[in-house]
Chain A
C-alpha cells in the first residue's frame, strides 16, 4: 500500500468513527457535524471531477448545490402543505421520499450543468471562472426574487424526509445514509478517473491539442465531466437541505462556491479523497476556531493563503507526497 492509500483509508474511516464515538458518548451535535462533513465532502467530490480531473476551475458550483437544495425544498414543501406543484397539463405532486428527491436533484442539477456548461465551456481560463461565477450569481438573484418559494427567506421543512425502512430522524441513521452515498460516489469517482473517460478527460486538461489529434473532442469530454460534476454536487445540496430542513438563497451564493472549492484545495486538488480531508478539516476549523473567535474567517483566509502559496498539494500532498502516475 502506498502512503496515500493508507491515508485515504484513515480518512475514510475517520467520519464513521467520529459519528459512532459521538453516538456512544451521546453527543448528537457531533454526529450532525460528521454528517455535515460527509455531505460537504460529497459536494467537493463533485467539484473535484470537474476541477481536479478536468482542470475546469468552476467558481459556480453553488448553482448545483442550491438547485439540489431547492429540489428538496420545493418537493417537500408541496408535500407538507398537500398542494400539487402543478396540475396542468399533468399533475405533479410533492414528495417526502428521499430517493425520489435525490433523483430529481440529480436530474435538475445535471440539466442545469448541461446548459451552464455548454455556454461556459465555449470559453476557457479566466473567462470560464468569471462566467461560472456569474451564472451562480444569476440563480442566487433568481432565488431571491422568485416569491413563490420563500424568496429571500427560504423554505423551512418541518420534518426530515423519509427513506423506506429507515428512521431518518435518528441522527446516526441519517449520518449512515449520507456516508453510504459519499462512499458510493467516491467509489464511482475513483473508477471514473481510471476509466477510458477519465484518461481522456485528464489528458485534455494536460494537453488539449494532443487529445484533438487522437480524434477526441475536449469540449465534449469537458461538458460530460461538468454534467457529472454538477449532478453530484446537486445531490449533496439535496442532502444538505435535508440535514438543515431548510433551504435559502445562501446555498446559491458565491461564498458557497468558494467554500466548496476550499474543501477541494485544502485536501489536495485531483486527489480522490482530497475533498473528504478538506471538508473534515473545514468543519473542524469552523467548530474549533469558530468557538475561539467570532472572526474565524480571518484564520481560515490565512490558512488558505498559506496552502496556496506554500503547500500546493494540499493536506494529502503534504503527507503523501507527489502523486504517482498510476498504471
Chain B
C-alpha cells in the first residue's frame, strides 16, 4: 500500500518580492516520519501555515488522504485529520492538563454544542484524554494547572492534545525546541513509536533527533526544497552540505 496521506503539490507564497514558498511539493506516506529541515528564514513557518491552514497559498494544492483541503480553513483541516503541534506551546493556560486533553477529545468528537451535561464527567472523552496523557507520560500531572507546568511538560501536553485528535497525519513544529538532552531523547523514542499510529511531518532543528527518526528528509532553503532523501543521502548531498549542513558544521 503506497497511499499518500499528505500530498503537497507546487505550493507558492510570496510576500511582495520575497518568495517565501517557491514551488514546494512533498508527500507523507503511512508509517513514515518525514523531516523538514532548513536554516532559519528558509520558509518553514510559512510552509507549515500553508499546510495547516491560516495562510492562503498563491497557488498549489494540499491533499489529505485524497481529499483536496486547499480551500479549507484551519478548523476544517483539523477536522479532516491534521494533528498539529505548535513551535511555541499553544494551550489553554487556565485549564488543568486534563481539561486541555479533554478539549482535544471534544474537538475530535465534534459534539461541542452541548450545553448541559458536565464535560469532565463524560467517560469517553476522559478516557481518550487520559490515554493520550498516559502515552506522553503526563498522567500523573492531569490535575495540574497548565500554567504551572514546566516548559518540557507543556511540549508533552502539546503532543498529547494532538494525539486525542486521532489524526491521519501529524504536523509537528519543532517538538524538541527547548527540551533538555534527556527530554529530547525520551520524546525521540516516543515519536519513533508514534509513526505506527499516523505518519509525522516533523519540522525540527535537533539534528540528532532528525537523523535518528526520519525515514526521509527534505531540505528547505530560500523557500525551495533542494533535496529529499534518506538520512544517508542527505548527509552525502553536496548541495545540502554547501547550503545548509556546511553552515551547521561551521557553527
A–B contact via C-beta, under 8 angstroms: yes
Contacts A202-B92, A207-B91, A213-B90 given; indicate if A196 touches B143 (C-beta within 8 A): no
Q: Which of A196-240 contact B (CB under 8 A)?
A: 196-200, 202-203, 206-207, 209-217, 221, 224
Contacting pair A203 B92 (CB below 8 A): yes
Chain A residues whose CB sits within 8 angstroms of the CB of B74 once the complex forms? 212-213
**Whole-angstrom distance between the Cβ of A208 and the nearest chain B Cβ:** 9
Interface: A192 (CB within 8 A): yes
Determine if A86 is an interface residue (Cβ-Cβ < 8 Å). no
Residues of B within 8 A of A197 (CB): 112-115
Of B57-65, B99-107, B223-231, which binds chain A? B99-107
Interface string of B45-78 (1 = CB under 8 A from A): 0000000111000000000000000000111101
Q: How far is the CA of A199 from the CA of B145 in the complex (A)?
A: 15
The verdict on B120 contacting chain A, using a C-beta distance below 8 Å, is yes
For A195, give its contact among B79, B84, B98, B116 (CB under 8 Å): B116
B90: which A residues are within 8 A, CB to CB?
Answer: 207, 209-210, 213
Shortest beta-carbon distance from B126 to chain A in Å? 10
Of chain A, the residue at the smallest CB distance from B107 is A214
Complex Cα–Cα for A196 and B113 (A): 7
Cα–Cα distance between A209 and B54 once the two chains are bound (Å): 10
Partner of A221, one of B53, B95, B100, B112: B112
Tell me if A194 is interfacial: C-beta within 8 Å of chain B: yes
The reply to whether B165 and A215 form a contact with Cβ atoms under 8 Å apart is yes
A327 within 8 A of B: yes
Which chain B positions have C-beta within 8 A of A215? 75-76, 78-79, 107-108, 110, 165
Q: Is the C-beta of B161 less than 8 angstroms from some C-beta in chain A?
A: yes
Q: Report whether A217 and B99 are in contact in the complex, using a CB–CB cutoff of 8 Å.
A: no
Please tell me if A287 contacts chain B, counting CB pairs below 8 Å: no
Complex contact B75–A199 (CB within 8 A): no
Tell me which residues from 111 to 131 in chain A have a Cβ below 8 Å from any Cβ of chain B: none
Size bin of chain B's contact surface: 35 or more
B93 partner residues in chain A, CB cutoff 8 A = 206-207
Interface string of A261-274 (1 = CB under 8 A from B): 00000000000000
- Closest residue to B143 on the A side, CB-wise? A327
What is the distance, in angstroms, from B109's C-beta to the closest C-beta of chain A?
Answer: 8
Q: A216 near B116 (CB under 8 angstroms)?
A: no
A325 at the interface (CB under 8 A from B): yes
B10: which A residues are within 8 A, CB to CB?
none
Contact yes or no, B86 A206, CB < 8 A:
no
Are B75 and A200 closer than 8 Å at their CB atoms?
no
Label chain A's interface by main secondary structure: helix
- Is B184 an interface residue when CB atoms closer than 8 A count as contact? no
Q: A325-B96, A327-B96 are in contact. Are A214 and B114 (CB under 8 A)?
A: no
User: How far apart are the CA atoms of A202 and B165 in the complex, in Å?
Assistant: 19
Determine the chain A residues whose CB is within 8 A of the CB of B79 once the complex forms: 215
**Bound complex: CA A207 to CA B56 (Å):** 22
Q: How close is B48's CB to chain A, nearest CB, in angstroms?
A: 12
User: Does chain A have a CB within 8 A of B111?
Assistant: yes
Docked-complex contact A194 and B120, CB < 8 angstroms? yes
CB <8 Å contact, A196 and B112? yes
Residues 157-171 of B contacting A (Cβ, < 8 Å): 161, 164-165
Q: What residues on B are CB-neighbors of A209 within 8 Å?
A: 86, 90
Complex contact A211–B108 (CB within 8 A): no
Contacts of B149 in A (CB 8 A): none
How far does the Cβ of B208 sit from chain A's closest Cβ, in whole Å? Answer: 27
B112 and A207 contacting across the interface, CB-CB below 8 Å: no
A164 CA / B116 CA spacing, docked (Å): 29
Interface residues of B in 97-151 (CB under 8 A from A): 98-100, 102-104, 106-108, 110-120, 122, 143, 145
Residue contact B75 to A212, C-beta cutoff 8 Å: yes
Whether A200 contacts B78 by the Cβ 8 Å rule is: no
The residue in chain B whose Cβ has the minimal distance to the Cβ of A326 is: B120
Q: For the complex, what is the distance from the CA of A211 to the CA of B118, rounded to whole Å?
A: 19
Q: Establish whether residues B91 and A214, one from each chain, have CB atoms under 8 Å apart when the complex forms.
A: no
- B91 close to A210 (CB less than 8 A): yes
Q: Is B215 an interface residue (CB 8 A)?
A: no
- Contact among B106, B116, B165 with A199 in the assembled complex (CB-CB below 8 Å): B106
Q: Which residue of A lies closest to B167 (CB)?
A: A215
Measured between alpha carbons, how far is A27 from B145 in the docked complex, in Å? 49
Min C-beta distance of B222 to chain A, whole Å: 27
User: With contacts A199-B119, A215-B165, A216-B112 known, what are 4 further pairs, Cβ within 8 A?
Assistant: A196-B122, A202-B92, A209-B86, A217-B75
Sample (27) of A-B pairs whose CB atoms are under 8 Å apart: A188-B115, A191-B118, A192-B116, A194-B118, A195-B116, A195-B119, A196-B112, A196-B122, A197-B115, A198-B119, A200-B112, A203-B92, A203-B95, A203-B103, A206-B93, A206-B95, A207-B90, A209-B86, A210-B90, A210-B103, A211-B103, A212-B73, A213-B90, A214-B104, A214-B108, A214-B165, A215-B110
Residues of A within 8 A of B (CB): 188, 191-192, 194-200, 202-203, 206-207, 209-217, 221, 224, 325-327
User: Which 8 interchain pairs have the tightest Cβ spacing?
Assistant: A214-B107, A215-B78, A215-B79, A206-B92, A203-B92, A196-B119, A196-B114, A215-B107
Binding site for A on B (CB under 8 A): 52-54, 73-76, 78-79, 84, 86, 90-96, 98-100, 102-104, 106-108, 110-120, 122, 143, 145, 161, 164-165
